[in-house]
Structure formats: structure tokens, C-alpha cells
Amino acid sequence: AGLFVFSGFEAVAKDGVHFLCLFDPDKDNVLERFIGECGVHDTTAASPTGTLDSLELLTRAKEWGARCIAAHVAAEGGLLKKLSGQTRINVWTSPLLLACALAGPIDQAPEGIRPILENKGGEYHRSRPVAVINASDANSPEDLKKDGASCFIKMSNVSVEALRQAFLDPQS
């Protein structure tokens, strides 16, 4: 069907922020170790919170060779909804954060969040904007047909390095 699947998991940092951690497809055999390094040892718990804060998780993910996307950034558990003040500024402006997921177009994002996503957010301004990926959780194939559920990402090959490159130039 022309679909490619990245290995990965959704991590909930100890500050409550959700991240999608993506790995090259050949990393399936070590994902449990990385989940354990997040401080999650009970694999039966639904959406367990890890022991790493957002910046620690971004740092660790880079060491693992993963790319993290701040999941549902403007919704419950999302970086710009969950965090506030200097903590939110520090995570948003971290050079380790390259992408976030937003269900729907930026111009329909909540009023206080829209300028940040547009990189017009004063203290939130970045020299290299965060790639805003139009995406949301999909629980069935029908969910993928909804507006704001998916987007195209231009890559010459399927790898986390290609994702990183795409996130560095989100306009293309």
C-alpha cells in the first residue's frame, strides 16, 4: 500500500507532556529498553508517566537515535497546554525539539497558542521554527480521512535522519 512504519512509542514525561518517540524500523528489538530508561517498568499500565522531564526525554531520545514529536501540542497533555511559564519556554525553544503535532491547521489553533506555532511568540521565538505536523491520533482507518488527521512529509528515504532533515525545513 506504499505505507512505511516507524518503530516507536508515545512517552508521557514526568511533567505530563506527551511525546511521540520514533525510531528506525530496525530498532524494534530495543524499544522495551528505551521505555525502561524513561522510568516505565509496568507494561500493563495505560499511559504511564515516566521519570524523565520533557528536556531530559528529548536529550535521551537524541542519544537513542530517535526523533521526538511533541504530540497533540495544543490539546490535553500537549506541551503548550500542559506546561507554562519559563518551563514551557525552555522546552519549546530547545534545539532538541524539531516538530510538534497539531490536529488541524495553525490558523485554527487556540488564540494563545497560535503565535507560538507561527513563530511570532516573543520569548518563544526560535531561529529555526518547529515543524508543525498536521496529525492526530488515529484509532481506525476512517480516522485518517478526517481533516487534520494526517500530512505528507517529504523524504528521499525512510529513516529518522530523513525525518530530522524534513523537520529542519518544514516549508518544503
pTM above 0.95, yes or no: no
pLDDT at 69: 96
What average pLDDT score do residues 116-144 get?
88
Q: Which three cell numbers stand for residue 57?
A: 526525554
What average pLDDT score do residues 71-97 get?
96
Rounded-to-integer distance, Cα 49 and Cα 29, Å: 22
What average pLDDT score do residues 115-142 get?
89
What average pLDDT score do residues 58-72 get?
95
Rounded-to-integer distance, Cα 50 and Cα 70, Å: 15
pLDDT at 13: 96
pLDDT at 12: 94
Inform me whether the pLDDT recorded for 133 exceeds 80: yes
What are φ and ψ of residue 145, in 5° steps? Answer: -85, -15
What average pLDDT score do residues 12-39 get?
89
CB atoms closer than 10 angstroms to residue 148: 14
Q: Which residues touch 129 (CB under 8 Å, ≥6 apart)?
A: 119, 170
Higher pLDDT: 26 or 130? It is: 130
Instruction: Kindly tell me the burial class for residue 53, based on how many C-beta atoms sit within 10 Å of its own C-beta (0-12, 13-18, 19 or more).
Output: middle
Q: Which three cell numbers stand for residue 107?
A: 490558523
Q: Which three cell numbers stand for residue 99?
A: 516538530
Inform me whether the pLDDT recorded for 62 exceeds 80: yes
pLDDT at 17: 97
Inform me whether the pLDDT recorded for 57 exceeds 90: yes
Q: Which of 60, 121, 110, 64 is nearest to 88 (CA)?
A: 121
83: confidence class by pLDDT, cuts 50, 70, 90: very high
- For residue 95, the SS3 value is coil
pLDDT at 137: 77
Percent of the chain whose pLDDT exceeds 70: 99
